[in-house]
Structures are given as structure tokens and as C-alpha cells.
Amino acid sequence: MSSVLVAMSGGVDSSVAAALLKDDGYDVVGLTFINFDFRRLNPDKSVQHCCSHETVNNARNVCDCLNIPHYVINRVDQFGKKVLENFKSSYFKGLTPNPCIRCNSLVRWPELINFAEKLGVEFIATGHYARIKSDNGHYMIYRAYSKAKDQSYALWAIKPDFLKRTLLPVGCYEKNQIRDIATKHNILNAFYPESQDLCFVMDDKYADVIGFLKSGDIVDNHGKILGKHKGLINYTVGQRRGIGVSAQEPLYVLEIDTDHNRLIVGTDEQLLKSDFEVEKANWFIKVSAGDEINCLAKIRYRHEAVSCVVRIKTKDEVAVRFREPQRAITPGQSAVFYDGEALLGGGVIKRFRK
């Protein structure tokens, strides 16, 4: 009998992942990470939030229901060094980071593999909505059947070698089917609401985590001062609401100028760009310097993948040109490349061409 270690957050998706694998005959073990002590920031608001006692207990109760063992491990230090520090430093550089992607690639998958090795467990699994397929021993990530829930975008940075040991059982289901399966297995969290925050941020209060805020000028493309911003960490490229400047037409954040502590704003049309550079690339296919790849690209989780040309500069750096200009290409966010349903690779947006 094959064995599998399942990352269990206390939510319905990871709970059903464990149930499905047990139904398929796997010897299942549950594992819950404590990555962040939310009580340090909000001692009265930790209920039902990631890494709280309540969510850990939810995972434990599901494991009891499924009659499988459950472990809890503390990875607060690792998460802090590999995810939180980057999150903070990125905002001070005017970038908009993807902490969930860093967590997947630098904490969750490596720690799952490491703990599985200690237990002598063959596979690992999560509740992500994505799929993994093998073609003659070459493993690739594919989009989930559910287009609304697909999370392949968040998995681009995982080491390719990890895929052969990874199972993603919920990727073949719609969300309503997952809740139905949870109900059939008497899993109590079947209809719990989904978290909309980052696991270490409550109510979008990033300043609680990042700290110091410094006001500065809001300017247009020509440097004309239009008002004052409330600290650059409160803004991201493409944002309209909350700028606090009145004008004849709607204004959007065009650029975050940390060198001069300025917020540069302009029209929606000025947000449209075609060319940008990507760094820290990770590939699930073979690439060589000079290659050009015609594919699809997403530049945000909710962005519809659109046609582009990717030119490989080095294994880690690429230049991308959209065939049609796209709105709000945002440094610090991820650009993820697809061939149809297959995830080819991705990287971090470094800069766009003005």
C-alpha cells in the first residue's frame, strides 16, 4: 500500500484531499504547519484564521474522523525568514509580492518532502486546485478542471523534482463537488467560509505586519503634485480606490517610486503595457538562452491568460512581449506561462518597459 503525507490546513479542500486519497487506498498521514503566530498582532482575532488553535483543531478533528494520524509542526522561524522578510522588503522596494508562491516553493513543499522522508512516506499531497500528469516519466502541472478555482498559478516556483512525489487530488473537481464529498464523509468543515486574507494579514491591514508608514507626494506622469499618499505599502499598480485625489477622469496607480517616496498616478489607458522582464524563472520544460516560446501568460491570479512571446535570456531571466497590451503589469507579481492547460514555468516580474 502506497503512503501519502497530506498538508492539512483545517479547510475543506485539504480535508477532502485526505479523504479522497484514503478512498483510493493510500495509507494517509495528516500534517498541519504552524507558520505564523497571529496572536502576536491580533490576540482577539485569531479564531478560524490560518495557524490558529481553531484551524489546527479542525485538521485534527478531520484526521480523527478519517481515522488517520495527525502531526503538527512549528515552522514559524522558517516562514519568517523565507516569506515574511521578503514580503516586508518587497513593499519597501515598491514591489507587490506573492507570499503564497514563496511559501509553496520555499516552505510547504520542501518541509512536506523532508517530513515524508523522516516518516518513510512515499508521496505528499495538498488541497490545491491543480493537476499533475506524467509523460514518460516527465511530470508537469496542469490547470484544474475548475477554471474558477484553478491554483496552478501559485505553483510555478515548485522544484520540478518534487512533482513526481506530489498528488493533487482535488484538481479534478468543482468546489461544490468537494463540499458534497466532505458532507458524505461527515467532515464538519464542509461549509466553512473560505479565507480571503493572506495567512498572516487580517482585514488587509498590511501595516500591522510591515510597520512604519511614511506619507509622501502623489504626482502625475509629469511630476505635478496632486496630493499626499498615506504610505506606499497601501498601494499597488493598477489600484483606483483609496488614492484620495479628485480629477476630471478616474486616476490609477501607474508606478510606485520608492526612491523619492512618490505615488505616480494616471489614466487607465496609461496602465497598458506590452513588454516586461522576468527574473528568478523556474521551468518545467527544457529551455536554452535565445529560445523564443509562443505561449500564454498570466500576470495575476485572476488575470486571463493571453498570448505572448517569451524570449529566454538566461535560465533565470526572460523578456516577455504580449501580442496585445495588458493592464497593470506589476513588478513583484508573478508571470506564469502556459501551453494550453500545461504550466510551462514562471518567474517574478522585474520591470515593465515604459
The 10s digit of each residue's pLDDT in 117-160 is: 999 999 999 999 999 999 888 999 999 999 999 999 999 999 99
Q: Evaluate if residue 40 carries a pLDDT over 70.
A: no
Q: Rounded to the nearest 5 degrees, what angle is found at the Cα of 8, between the Cα atoms of 6 and 10? A: 160
Q: Rounded to the nearest 5 degrees, what angle is found at the Cα of 234, between the Cα atoms of 230 and 235? A: 110
Domain that includes residue 313, residue range: 273-352
31 — pLDDT class (breaks 50, 70, 90):
very high
Same domain, 175 and 255: no
Regarding predicted confidence, which is higher, 110 or 11? 110
Q: Evaluate if residue 19 carries a pLDDT over 80.
A: yes
55 — pLDDT class (breaks 50, 70, 90):
confident
Mean predicted confidence (pLDDT) in 17-37: 93
CA 282/CA 156 separation, integer angstroms: 7
- Domain end marker among 225, 245, 267: 267
Same domain, 130 and 256: no
Please provide the size of the chain in residues.
354
Query: CA 190, 193, 196, 200 torsion: positive or negative?
Result: negative
Q: Evaluate if residue 103 carries a pLDDT over 70.
A: yes
Copy the grid coordinates of residue 315.
535560465
Specify the pLDDT at position 189: 66
CA 298/CA 244 separation, integer angstroms: 29
| CATH code, domain carrying 262 | 2.30.30.280
pLDDT more than 90, % of the chain: 68
Same domain, 217 and 101: no
Mean predicted confidence (pLDDT) in 80-86: 89
Q: Evaluate if residue 48 carries a pLDDT over 50.
A: no
CA 170/CA 23 separation, integer angstroms: 13
Paired with 276 in beta bridges are 320, 352
Q: What is the pLDDT of residues 161-181, one digit of tens each?
A: 999 999 999 999 999 999 999
Split into its structural domains, the chain has a count of 3
Q: What is the pLDDT of residues 211-247, one digit of tens each?
A: 557 889 999 989 999 999 988 888 889 999 889 888 8
Copy the grid coordinates of residue 280.
528568478
- Domain end marker among 267, 296, 331: 267
Same domain, 234 and 299: no
Same domain, 143 and 240: no
Regarding predicted confidence, which is higher, 136 or 71? 71
Same domain, 225 and 307: no
- Domain end marker among 167, 184, 201: 184
Same domain, 15 and 146: yes
Give me the chain's average pLDDT, please. 89
Percentages helix, strand, coil for the chain (3-state, rounded to 5) are 30, 30, 40
Catalytic residue among 100, 103, 295, 308: 103
Catalytic residue among 51, 63, 100, 199: 199
Q: C-alpha distances in angstroms, 346 versus 34, 139, 283? A: 27, 16, 7
46 — pLDDT class (breaks 50, 70, 90):
very low
Flag whether the pTM goes above 0.85. Answer: yes
Same domain, 217 and 143: no
Q: Evaluate if residue 196 carries a pLDDT over 80.
A: no
Same domain, 73 and 219: no
Q: Which residue is associated with the grid cell 501559485?
A: 154
Q: What is the pLDDT of residues 249-307, one digit of tens each?
A: 899 999 999 889 999 999 999 999 999 999 999 999 999 999 999 999 999 988 999 99
CA 113/CA 82 separation, integer angstroms: 17
Examine residue 83 and state whether it is found in any structural domain, yes or no.
yes
Rounding to the nearest 10 degrees, give the CA dihedral for residues 245, 247, 249, 250: 0
User: Would you call 199 a catalytic residue per the annotation?
Assistant: yes
